[in-house]
Every structure is written in C-alpha cells, then in structure tokens.
Amino acid sequence: MNASVAIQTLPEAKNDEELIRIVDEVIAYIKSTGLKCYVGPFETAIEGDYDELMDIVKECQHIAIRAGAPSVLAYIKVDYRPEGDVLSIERKVTKHHI
Amino acid sequence: MNASVAIQTLPEAKNDEELIRIVDEVIAYIKSTGLKCYVGPFETAIEGDYDELMDIVKECQHIAIRAGAPSVLAYIKVDYRPEGDVLSIERKVTKHHI
Amino acid sequence: MNASVAIQTLPEAKNDEELIRIVDEVIAYIKSTGLKCYVGPFETAIEGDYDELMDIVKECQHIAIRAGAPSVLAYIKVDYRPEGDVLSIERKVTKHHI
Amino acid sequence: MNASVAIQTLPEAKNDEELIRIVDEVIAYIKSTGLKCYVGPFETAIEGDYDELMDIVKECQHIAIRAGAPSVLAYIKVDYRPEGDVLSIERKVTKHHI
C-alpha cells in the first residue's frame, strides 16, 4: 500500500437531506471498490495504490453529478510514498477508538 | 452546537514514530476539552461553539511545538451556522460504521 | 514573521454575485489588517505572527455571517515555525509571475 | 471551462532549497500544459476541463517523486460544474491585484 487519500465531496444541494443522499451515493461507490476505507464527518479516507486511488477520487465527483448535483466542490488530501508504506489507517486511528 | 471543525496538525518530525508521538499529544489535548470529537486517519473533527472551537484549533499548533516539533503545518475545515445546528458528527458518520 | 496562513471562506449564498459580494467583504477585512496578503482564486494567504493570524482567520467567518451569509464553510492552511522564518509569500510566488 | 482546481504538492525534502527546487518542477509541468493557471504561495490554481485537470493533478505527484522526493503530500481543491461555467480565475482575482 503505497498511498492513502482522503476526500470530501461537497455537492450543491437544496437542503441537508439532499446533500446527505448524494454524499451517501459517493460513499457507496467508494465502498464498492473493495479498498480499505474510513468514513469520517468531513472526509472519507481510502488506502491502496496511488494511481488507482486518484482514479477513484476523480470518479467521486462524476458520481455526485450523476446523483443529481448541478455542481460539486471537493477537498482532497494525498499521502504517497512509492517505495515503502505510508502510515496505515489502522495504525493512525485504531488506538484512539478503544 | 453551531459549529464543527476538523483539524490535521502535521508536525515536522524526524521519523514516523516521532510524528505519531506529537500528533498523539495534540489528540490528547483535543480529548481533554471534553467536546465531542472524532479521530480519523488524516484529521480530527470536533463539534461545539464556533469561538471555542477556533481557540482549540489555534492551541493545537502550540501543543505540537511544545511537544518538540520545530515547525508545524495544519489543515483546518470549518462548518459554522450561527442560527441553528450544523450536521452533527453522529448524523454524518454513525450509519456508515455499522 | 513566524507564520503564514491561507484561508478560503465559503459563504452560503443564493448565487455567484452574492457569493462574490460576501467574499469581497472578507478580503477587504483581511487587507484592513495591514498584513502582507496575497489573494488567489481559491484562498487568500496572509503572513505575520501566528497568534494574530489565527485571530484574523477566526474573524473572517464572523465577517461573512455579518455580511448576510446564513452559514459558512472555511478551509484553512497554516505554516508555523516559532523560531526563525517560514518561507515568505514573496519568495514563493514572485518569480512565477514575471 | 467546466472546472477549476487548486493543488499544493508538498514533497518530503531535506531543506527549503530542495523543497523549492522540486515544487518549481511541478509548477513548470503545470505551466507546460498550456492551461490557464495561477501560482499562489500555498497552491497553484488551474482551469479547464474536469477530466483533464484531474489527470494533471495526478501527474503532479509523479513529477515530485521523479524530481527526487522520497514521498509527497498533496492538498487539492476542486470546483466542477458540468453544465455552464465555474467562476474563472480572472473574475475571482483580477480586481484584487489592481
């Protein structure tokens, strides 16, 4: 696992319910990739291969548009270390949730 | 609860172990405020009163410096709605972790 | 100058004109501080003393609300090096705009 | 122009000079695409077609690695409106630099 990314997809929506419905479709798409992910209040983190992750990140906004958003903002973080591993979600989060 | 923030404090550190040690001190400080928070792989979300949250966000970097970092980067997200509630961490995250 | 920050204040607004009007008030406030700043398409960078910068960052969202936004999102970057200087806006940008 | 993005590529580097050298290679790459871009102190904004922009964003980190960084962090903002235009760099920035 040479990379980890986090993405907040923020669709234009008429109200909170519509916003949540669209974001849920994006999260469902991310989970459907089968990669390890971690849903947080502002962003969803995913770990895997850098190129694959960036393709997923790109697709997230298409998903939001297809789900009905006329426009979308996104905020993305990337951690990429081609040789060797980045810090895993497991290592960064688990101890804090016991 | 009129606001929710998320903060990634990124201390300069010699290696991953040192980085984790310093970030853990920042997270311990956030938890010590008693506010509802949610630790994720890239950032920790906190909810409460806007002014109080921004003071906490400011203090996080002082904590990292006092813990030994010569310099620090931070990435912060803010959601503030003075009249009425912002979406809660509970509402945004719980269903995705069942 | 021990710190440099960048802030994107994103007010809830009925349309682009309203959004621009509110963001312009936030930028006018930042310029009124007299600190060196740099307005970009997504964020405004400011350099100065860390504590003062974080107070300005906090105030930006109050400005947006007072200008009429019912709610506001913000995305903030911080670079803080208590002993010694952070890279200046001048050093980071000037050569690229010749 | 249906999209606008901003990217901060943050290579691991031994010192400020090395950091600047690598970031300059990333900026040179962005400029070589011929798209309208705007270099700021923390990030470079680019406007164009969404899919093309996301491919450029992905390549930026490869550039940083090839320029010698053992690892790289990136922070990316996206504004995408498939039907109709997003706010242009020109419209958002020009009046503030007169």
Q: What pLDDT does residue B98 have? A: 65
Highest CATH level, class, for C3-97? alpha beta
Task: State ipTM.
Answer: 0.97
C75–A contact, CB cutoff 8 A:
yes
pLDDT at D84 > cutoff 90: no
Residue B54 near residue C54 (C-beta atoms within 8 A): yes
C28–D contact, CB cutoff 8 A:
no
Instruction: Specify the pairing of strand B72-80 against strand B3-11.
Output: antiparallel
A71–C contact, CB cutoff 8 A:
no
Structure tokens at B89: 């961490």
What is the DSSP code string of D30-47?
A: HHHT--EEEE-SS-EEEE
* Dist. CA D30–CA D60, nearest whole Å: 8
With contact defined as 3+ CB pairs under 8 Å, the chains touching C are: A, B, D
* Dist. CA C82–CA A18, nearest whole Å: 44
Q: What pLDDT does residue C97 have? A: 80
CATH topology of domain B3-87: Alpha-Beta Plaits (3.30.70)
Q: What pLDDT does residue D23 have? A: 97
Mean pLDDT by 10 residues, chain A (98 residues): 97 95 98 97 97 98 98 98 91 85
* Dist. CA C75–CA C64, nearest whole Å: 14
Indicate the domain borders of chain C. Answer: 3-97
pLDDT tens digits for C56-67?
A: 999 999 999 999
D77–B contact, CB cutoff 8 A:
no
Among the partner-chain residues D16, D42, D96, the one whose CB lies closest to the CB of C6 is: D42
* Dist. CA A39–CA A7, nearest whole Å: 10
- Confidence band for D8, pLDDT divided at 50, 70 and 90: very high
Mean per-residue pLDDT over chain B, rounded: 96
B77–C contact, CB cutoff 8 A:
yes
- Confidence band for D97, pLDDT divided at 50, 70 and 90: confident
Among the partner-chain residues D16, D42, D96, the one whose CB lies closest to the CB of C43 is: D42
CA–CA–CA angle B68, B73, B79 (5° rounding): 125
pLDDT at B35 > cutoff 90: yes
Chain C environment of B75 (Cβ under 8 Å):
75-78
- Confidence band for C98, pLDDT divided at 50, 70 and 90: low
In chain C, the residue whose alpha carbon lies closest to the alpha carbon of A76 is: C75
